[in-house]
Each structure stands twice: as structure tokens, then as C-alpha cells.
Structure 1
Amino acid sequence: MKKRIIGAALAGSLGLLAVTPTGCYLSRGAIEEAKILSNRKSITDMVRDPGTDTITRAKLRVVLDARQFARSTLGLKTKESFTTYSQLDTDTLVLVLSAAYRDSLKAYTWWFPIVGRVPYKGYFDFNRARRDEQKLQREGFDTYLRPSDAFSTLGWFNDPLLSTSLRRDSIELANTVIHELVHNTFYAPGQAYFNESFASFVGARGAEAFFRGRGQEQAAREVEARWADEKLLGRFWATLLKSLDSAFAAHPSSRVERLEARDSVFARARVELVTSVSREFKTIGPAYATRVSLNNAALLARRIYAQDLQSFDDVYVREGRDVKRAVGRIVALAKANPKDPYGAVTRFLGDKPVP
């Protein structure tokens, strides 16, 4: 499953003083961002360079073409993002940490300038990430630490394509480029679930339209199949969240009973995932169902990218399966209702049934 993070560290590059723990973190982020930006090469030059290997050249062309498609066909703001390439000296860009209370569906959050409060934190310093995870665990939180190979600075900088992203196949590359350019185009402060899930939708449906427009029907069908798996898992996580919420609500006065109930819910969920849900996967291997982490932090982290994906698809259908029109409609609804963008989408869809 793809993993991305908004570049909360970007604020450090905007002049935030490093006089607090947050400031120190942002300053480290600014340093790492500066390294990435200073190491950029023109993708166009790399494509023209006879020394670039065939596979890399083909992937770089997909990046440039997907970027152009996002701008000219989808109406996304590209600025100069994804016109350059940056080689990293590591296989992992950042480690992303999420945390949550063990006996309630409440995420631990961090606050950063510009992006507001978000339920995750990215670390260029991997040792610090592990120390902070251990500290949260000692304090009684569930944690979920995972690698990320792509991020967006929301248009504040011209994001390069990173070598960590180039390991993906062409289908995932196109999805990634379009997904990240959504953040250049629209970002609602304090609405992480909406922002990332909306970008997941545009990345998938945009990549599908991109490949179909190139006459690559097999690739378009593969994008659609992967999107179907994302929506399937999104529904499963949503159902699991409801089950946990009910289990916690049934034991308001006993933390021990809430934890026991939670463990039972996760045990049943694992069985369902292995014996039922995984059989519907189109592109995800069966091992995923047995290995995927199940705890409150992991569940809430996955929801960031998969909350109510069907509602975006319903708008897409309502708008004649036109991605650009769907994006315009959803952005307009979110701008008019910044405190409740999902509610705005739901009310729009409630006007009449989706065809």
C-alpha cells in the first residue's frame, strides 16, 4: 500500500525559529529539504541523456506525461513540481509515526504551522522516530511506525521526484504524481482525513483516465482494480472502526473491559480479513491479510487515506465520470464548508440519487 506524508517540516524552511521542540524538529526538516532541493536534476535532461537506462527513461517519461495530464486535462496546479529528480542516499525518505489511545478511537495529534493539527509526524531522523515511538508506548498509546517514500510541500516548494518513488511501477508513479499535485491545488487546514482521501481518489481516477487517454487500456484496468481494492479495504476499516466504537461505548467505566473488548474485536477482524475480505482482493496478495498491523493507531492511520472513498466516486459518477468536473465540484464544496467538507459532499449527494 502506498504511503505518503504532507511535508509538515516545510514550515521550518519558511523562517520558523528553532527555539522550541517543534522548532528544532522543523529546522531538521528544513535542512533535509534543502539537501533534497540542492540535489535536483532536470527530468527532461535525464530523459535526453543517452546514459539513462531504458527502464528509468520510460518511468521518467510517465512522470512528465502524468504531470502534463494533471495540468492540462485535470486542471491541477503543477507549478514546477515533478520537473526535477533527486537521488537520495537511502531507501527510505522518512519514517511516519502515528499514535492513538488504546481504549478509545482518539488519535494523538501534532500541530505544525500552515498545515495545522495532523494525526502523524514524519521523521528524517530514524533513531528519534523510534525513541518517540517507545516514549508513546510507555505512556500507554498504540503506535504505528512505517516508512514513506513520497511527500508534498503543498506547493511551497517545487517538489522533485525522489529516487525512492522511482522504484514503483509506472501505474503507481502516475498515481503518485497526480495525488501529490492535488495537494498543490487544494489543502484544507486541519482536515487531514479529507485531504488525503480526496487525493487518493483523484490519484486513482486521474491515473485511470491518463492511461486510457494514452490508449493503454490494460494499464487503465489495472488502476481501476487497485482502486477497487482501496475502496474494499476502506469499507472494511470503516466497519471495524464502528465495531470498536461500539465495544468501547459498552464499557464506559472500566478501562480493563474496554481493552478486553478491543482485543476481541481485533481477533474477529483478523479472521474476517483472512477468510473473507482477502478473497475479494484483485491486486493485493493474500499474505497482506495475515501480516497487516491491527491496533488503534494503525487503523486510524489507514483511515487517513481511505475515509469514505465511495462518496468521492459518487460525485465522479454524478459529474458524468469526468475527473476534472468531479475535482472542481468537490473543491468548491470543501471551500464553502471548510469545517465539514465531508458533510458538504454528503449533502450534495443527498439532493438526488447517484445514477
Structure 2
Amino acid sequence: MRSLLGRLLAVSMLVFVTACSSVSYYTQAVVGQLSILSKRKSLERLIADEATHETLRNRLQFIQSVLAFADDNGLPVNGAYSAYVDTGRAYVVWNVFAAPTFSTELKRFCYPMVGCLAYKGFFAEQAARDYAQSLADEEMDVYVGGVAAYSTLGWFDDPVLNTFIARSDERLAALLFHELAHRVVFVKGDTQFNESFATTVERTLLRQWLTERGQPSVFDAYLEDEAKWQQTVALITKARSALAEIYASDEKASVRRTSKHERLQQLQDEYAELEQTWVTQGPYAGWMAQPINNAQLGTVAIYHELVPQFEALLATSGNLRAFLEEVKVLAKQSNEVREQRLMAEAESL
């Protein structure tokens, strides 16, 4: 395993090999990560410490049980989540998403070590919002989202954070499964592949975990949320397709802008109607209540668009461990080969 110093030096080198305009960005990334690492406290010690609040102790013990389950099912836990950090804030990072005024495709941000991603992360909220404003000044659609957890892809042993520890049991377990999945494979420059894969693992293990815990009512509620999620994503996917047609038309910019506004309003109206059919509030209530743009819609696509294809591959693989091995092989292929394989799996069912 690479030493902590070696890893920090590797990350720090980014500051010196990039353009001057990027130095401040990579500096904040290094400083932010160092701040997280410097605050780590061992889970074992916190659990054993009589001064630890009982609520925190119970959550940490719960996390240990989830990690054991994940490890038993083939996820590479190793030293991940063996320490706790209180960041003192609601989110650990803030991601900036952007898309052109007349495009459904997210802007890509490229980095030396992980390739191009569909977002740019900041450890300080104001820095994220300032950067988003600079993109908005260039007439880009922008969206800033707070993030409770992120994966360093095995470079560091990611800690448990205060930003997500208070979640319900099922939400916390789902998050851990998702982040650990990123340790299985990470394809440079393919955010949609990476996030859709992690979402598939998250959903698969959560189903199994709830079933084995003998919590039928919680599992039923989860299935209900799943159905709401699928209906909502279907609406968003339909809206993005309609918007793509609007943007590709030969109409004047003013006409396309009006059509864009009308279609986004239609999406919000359709979601409001859909919510009326549900007993409880839907998963995107707050999200849909705010002004929507191309960047915001793109965040849904990168996390969910390939999930059906991955679930088809999981079905043909037979079990999760075999699926993980299949994806490891797939991750080494070209973008075109990966896309063809996933589409073929989905069409075969």
C-alpha cells in the first residue's frame, strides 16, 4: 500500500503541473483533503471511549456491521470507514455542474489523475458558488449540489463523516455500498459508467441487506421509493429528449429559449401531477420546486441512465460477485465496446 506521504505528494504535484489558473483549485483540493485526514479518529477507539455519546457509538457500531456485510459480498472494504471525522459543516464538498444553454450534455472538467468528469468539486461552498457564477456569466446553465460523501478511489482510507452518519439505517447503508463500489472499478473520464455502476451495486446490496435483516416493512417502503424514483427518472428522461430536439432545431435562439422554458415548466407540472398519485412525498420534491435547467437535469442522467443496462448485466451474471468481475473486465474496454456490451445486455432481456 502506498504511504500516506507518497499519496499526498502525488496529489500535491498536480499544483505544479497545471496552468496557473488551476493552481488555486488544486491547492484548495489538497488543503481540503489534508483537513479531513488530520481530523480522523479511530472507530474502535471512539466506540471503546466512555466519553463517546451513546448515539454516536451506536451509529459507528452499525456502520461496522454494514461494512462487514459489504465485505462478505465482495466489496473491497479494506481500511475504508475505519475512522470518523466531524467536518463541522452540513456537506463535505460542493459539486458544480454546468451545461450550455442549448444542450442537454454536461460540461466536462478534466484532471490529470482521474480523467474528465461531469462536475467540479470544491471543499468551500462559496468557492463553488463563485465558480458557478463565472460559468453562468458565460451563459452556461449551472447547478451547485452539496455532497455528503465522496470516494478517493482507494488513494486514502475514506472516513465516516458527520455529514452522513445521521441518515436512516437504509439510507446510510445505501451510501456506503455506493461509495465502496467506486473502489471496485473507476473508468477515467466516464462519469456515467462509474455512477450508474455504483448505483446498481447500491440498490442490489440494499435489497439483499434489508431482506436478510428481516425488515419487510422497511423493504416495502424501499420498493415504494424505488417505484417513485423510476417514474421520476422516466419523466426527466422524456424531458431531456424533448429538449434535445428543441436545441437541435433551426429556430432562432429566442424561440428555442421560450420552448426550453415551456418544456421545463411542463416537467415540473407533470411531476406535481405524479406526486398527487402518491401517498407520501416523492424523492425529488425539493429538487423539482426550484428553477430547473440543463445542468440540473444532467445530474440525474449521470447517476441513473445506465442503471437498467447494468441491472441486465447483473441478471445474466447470476450473482453479484460474478457481476463485479464482469464489470472489471468491461471497464478495461473502450467507451464504444462498453456501450455496445451494456446495450446488448439490456436488449437480450
TM-score, normalised to structure 2's length? Answer: 0.88
What do you get for the CA RMSD once the two structures are aligned? Answer: 2.5
| Residue 196 (structure 1) aligns with | 195
| Residue 13 (structure 1) aligns with | 11
| Residue 235 (structure 1) aligns with | 234
Q: 1:14 to 1:78 in 2, by over 3 A?
A: farther
Deviation at 1:223, TM superposition (A): 3.5
Q: 1:96 touches 1:120 (CA, 8 Å); kept in 2?
A: yes
| Residue 328 (structure 1) aligns with | 325
| Residue 220 (structure 1) aligns with | 219
Deviation at 1:13, TM superposition (A): 2.5
Following the alignment from structure 1 to structure 2, what is the Cα–Cα distance between the partners of residues 330 and 295?
A: 32
Following the alignment from structure 1 to structure 2, what is the Cα–Cα distance between the partners of residues 10 and 215?
A: 43
Q: Which letter maps to 1:194? A: F
Matches within 5 A, 1:205-216: 205-216=204-215
Gaps of 5+ in 1: 1-8
Greater shift, 216-225 or 164-173, is seen at 216-225
- CA displacement 1:5-32 (0-9 Å, x = unmatched): xxxx989725223462323311211111
Following the alignment from structure 1 to structure 2, what is the Cα–Cα distance between the partners of residues 139 and 338?
A: 30
Deviation at 1:257, TM superposition (A): 1.8
| Residue 273 (structure 1) aligns with | 271
| Residue 77 (structure 1) aligns with | 76
Gaps of 5+ in 2: 1-6
Deviation at 1:332, TM superposition (A): 2.9
| Residue 56 (structure 1) aligns with | 56
| Residue 146 (structure 1) aligns with | 145
Q: Which letter maps to 1:343? A: Q
| Residue 294 (structure 1) aligns with | 292
Q: 1:200 touches 1:306 (CA, 8 Å); kept in 2?
A: yes
- Report the 3-state secondary structure (helix = DSSP H, G, I; strand = E; otherwise coil) of the residue aligned with 2:247: helix
- Report the 3-state secondary structure (helix = DSSP H, G, I; strand = E; otherwise coil) of the residue aligned with 2:263: helix
Q: Which letter maps to 2:106? A: A
| Residue 310 (structure 2) aligns with | 312
Q: 2:236 touches 2:267 (CA, 8 Å); kept in 1?
A: no
Q: 1:52 to 1:219 in 2, by over 3 A?
A: farther
Following the alignment from structure 1 to structure 2, what is the Cα–Cα distance between the partners of residues 270 and 224?
A: 24
Q: 1:47 touches 1:60 (CA, 8 Å); kept in 2?
A: yes
Following the alignment from structure 2 to structure 1, what is the Cα–Cα distance between the partners of residues 15 and 117?
A: 20
Following the alignment from structure 2 to structure 1, what is the Cα–Cα distance between the partners of residues 174 and 35?
A: 25
TM-score, normalised to structure 1's length? Answer: 0.87
Deviation at 1:185, TM superposition (A): 1.2
Q: Which 4+ runs in 1 deviate beyond 6 A?
A: 9-12
Greater shift, 168-177 or 301-310, is seen at 301-310
Following the alignment from structure 1 to structure 2, what is the Cα–Cα distance between the partners of residues 187 and 121?
A: 17
Q: Which letter maps to 1:260? A: T
- CA displacement 1:146-204 (0-9 Å, x = unmatched): 21111111111110011111121111111111111111110011110111121112112
Q: Which letter maps to 1:308? A: L
Q: 1:238 to 1:109 in 2, by over 3 A?
A: same
Following the alignment from structure 2 to structure 1, what is the Cα–Cα distance between the partners of residues 136 and 269?
A: 26
Q: Which letter maps to 1:329? A: E
Greater shift, 86-95 or 214-223, is seen at 214-223
Q: 1:118 to 1:97 in 2, by over 3 A?
A: same
| Residue 33 (structure 2) aligns with | 33
Matches within 5 A, 1:252-263: 252=250, 254-263=252-261
Following the alignment from structure 1 to structure 2, what is the Cα–Cα distance between the partners of residues 339 and 11?
A: 35
| Residue 154 (structure 2) aligns with | 155
Q: Which letter maps to 2:171? A: E
Identity of matched residues, %: 24
